[in-house]
Amino acid sequence: MRRTVDSAFSTPDNSFGFLRLLFAFAVLVSHSLPLGYGEEDPGGVLTHGQTALGEIGILGFFTISGFLITRSAGRLTLPRYLWHRGLRILPGLWVCLVVTAFGFAPVVALIERGTLAGFFTAPGGPFGYVLNNALVMIRQYGISGLLLDTPYGELTGDSVFNGSLWSLMYEVLCYLLVAGLAVAGVLRRARWAVVLLTAGLFALIVRDFVTAPEIPGPQGDYGPLFGVGAVDTRSLVYLTYVFLLGALFELFRRRIPLHDVGAIIAVAVLAGTVQFGGFAVLGYPAFAYLVLWLAVRLPRHFRRIGRHQDYSYGFYIYAFPVQQSLALVGAPRLGLAVYILLATAGTFALAIPSWHLVERPAMAWKNWSPRQRITAGDQASGMNSRGEPVPSAGTVHTSLADGPSPERGSP
């Protein structure tokens, strides 16, 4: 198969839904050893400290988001774009925070302490957990000092109910970056500026590679951004770079070929960099290419997964508290495979209602807009005060329909 990205994604017949769910499951598997057994993710050992299975899952999310969100920003007005992004991320997050603080945490308190005395009033309690994390920047991971006796609590010395939420802030920052580029006209008239921005981030990653103490090995130890502990500079640089790789595939979709030989080369590059170093330098672009290739080359039955019911976001945001709860009651003693199966089932038990009761109803509001009053002058001129066409007499605009959206967002 030899075609461009544009022709490959000319229809919505793709496997993005399946891939998002696969990447969310990869994060769950990656967390199983730390959360269940207090051991490090084996992916770090297999890649000589370059990456981990969970990080690869997040890279997949950011690649897909960069591709789809850039397409969305190019066809929507700024208010509509921000409205869509907020609807996709925030309602599900808010409900997850409430469920964690007032569902999971009280049960954990009863198991650990046998009482709820002091639970609601303790420093770092459930109300603070919801309020401190409601705007995506996660500033409180623990609740009332619970979960310290779990394998992960003993490993880190911290109370952590949902460590997966950290990546949402970087996703939102990438959304805002794309919004700024769209408003400045870059996405339509100066795509070369996105290339320069991506090249600048790539230069930082190359610098990290050539100055690393050992190759292969960990690279890019930046520390907090501007002293703000909740924002890690390395994560911002590396995840934004991957997001922009996806964006470039969209912006230059008519020029970039997407074919099987390229996928074979991408697999070879991935295998080489994982073992010998340079995963972030050469492996990231190869991985981004492979993700898009898989989206159109996986067998057809994979394309039906997630097309109408996208459980990937709910799966991602609920997996961590489910795994922590299972670890608390000793489920890991049943074996790693059983622990993963139980965690998967428990996570789906929350992700499915999250989609049907929260996320999909929220997205149903994507075309909502404030009711506009139409004056006689507007009717005469055919335009309202904002220069928009008005309907015929006796009707009122209640929405600004922009057609079906190809994107559903990600964690």
Please name which of 391, 348, 353, 354 lies closest in space to residue 372, comparing C-alpha atoms.
Answer: 391
Contact 311, 89 (CB under 8 A): no
260 versus 3: the higher-pLDDT residue is 260
Q: What whole-number distance in Å separates Cα of residue 220 and Cα of residue 124?
A: 32
Q: Share the mean pLDDT of the chain.
A: 87
**Amino acid identity at 285:** P
Local confidence band at 367 (pLDDT 50, 70, 90 cut-offs): confident
For the chain, how big is the Rg over CA atoms in Å?
Answer: 23
pLDDT at 163: 94
Q: What is the mean pLDDT of residues 2-14?
A: 85
Local confidence band at 374 (pLDDT 50, 70, 90 cut-offs): very low
Q: What is the mean pLDDT of residues 339-363?
A: 97
pLDDT at 229: 59
- Cα 409 to the chain's mean position, in Å? 7
With a cut of 70, say whether residue 388 has pLDDT above it.
no
pLDDT at 10: 81
Domain residue limits, the chain: 2-363
Instruction: Enter the pTM of the model.
Output: 0.87
pLDDT at 3: 84
Strand spans (E) along 151-309 = 224-225, 228-232, 257-259
- Residue 34: asked if its preceding bond is cis (omega within 30°), the reply is no
What is the DSSP track for 15-71?
Answer: -HHHHHHHHHHHHHHHHHHHHHHS---HHHHHTTTS--HHHHHHHHHHHHHHHHHHH
